A and B are shown apart, each in its own frame.
Chain A
Amino acid sequence: KAGVTQTPRYLIKTRGQQVTLSCSPISGHRSVSWYQQTPGQGLQFLFEYFSETQRNKGNFPGRFSGRQFSNSRSEMNVSTLELGDSALYLCASSLTGLAGDSTDTQYFGPGTRLTVL
């Protein structure tokens, strides 16, 4: 079974631009979560999508948004980029999104490294 894939793997943008990152989950997984990883803040939850609906959102400004398509693929968008948005963005997929399901697990993709200049 193919794992979680993320594209692109690397991105360089300048302040003020916007960016779209893509995530393809493991086949059959309907939940996709996004995380931001930085040296200072560590791994922080951005949001989670299930069946094309955002069910949960972390504490990030509205510049960070996402969506999920009917095939469970997900995109996240960051508008008006700031220097502090430079990070590794990780996508994780699971069957149900955990939430008390002891049989479920999140599997992570390799990440997209975004550099904002």
Chain B
Amino acid sequence: AQSVTQLGSHVSVSEGALVLLRCNYSSSVPPYLFWYVQYPNQGLQLLLKYTTGATLVKGINGFEAEFKKSETSFHLTKPSAHMSDAAEYFCAVEGGSQGNLIFGKGTKLSVKP
């Protein structure tokens, strides 16, 4: 069965610093992987997704993620944090059945001025 683990429920960085949010997955089939962001009192917005092909995936707002099969990881990075990046980030894997995404517990990102 598919599952997702996000290391660190809270991450705090300074503005301009590197953002690294960790995600490890478990999947019995080649995974489709997603990162979503949730701002307070809002729904989920897709940042990026990996299905097949290039393992480095670029998303919106300067984020990117690298699929590493050997490490079963899909970490999210951004070279320079901005105050507007403060939000909760969710990693997800397609659950192998219709309409089902399996989410990690989320990582809340704080950005200090």
Contact = CB atoms under 8 A, between A and B. Distances in A.
Contacts of B61: none
Contacts of A105: 34, 46, 49
Contacts of B44: 90, 92, 108
Contact of B100 (A4, A33, A103): A33
Contacts of B95: 45
Given A42-B106, A108-B44, A108-B45, A102 B52 contact: yes
Contacts of A58: 100
Contacts of A111: 42-43
A4 B46 CA distance: 13
A45 B100 contact: yes
A2 interface: no
Nearest to B29: A100
Interface residues of A, number: 33
Interface SS of chain A: strand
A50 B103 contact: no
A98 B43 contact: no
Interface SS of chain B: loop
A33 B97 CA distance: 12
Interface in B31-69: 32, 34, 36, 41-46, 49, 51-52
Nearest to A99: B98
A45 B98 contact: no
A50 B99 CA distance: 9
A106 B94 CA distance: 10
For the complex of A and B, the 4 pairs showing the least CB-CB separation, nearest first, are A48-B99, A102-B51, A33-B99, A43-B103
Interface of A: 4, 6, 31-33, 35, 42-43, 45, 47-50, 55-56, 58, 90, 92, 94, 97-100, 102-103, 105-111, 113
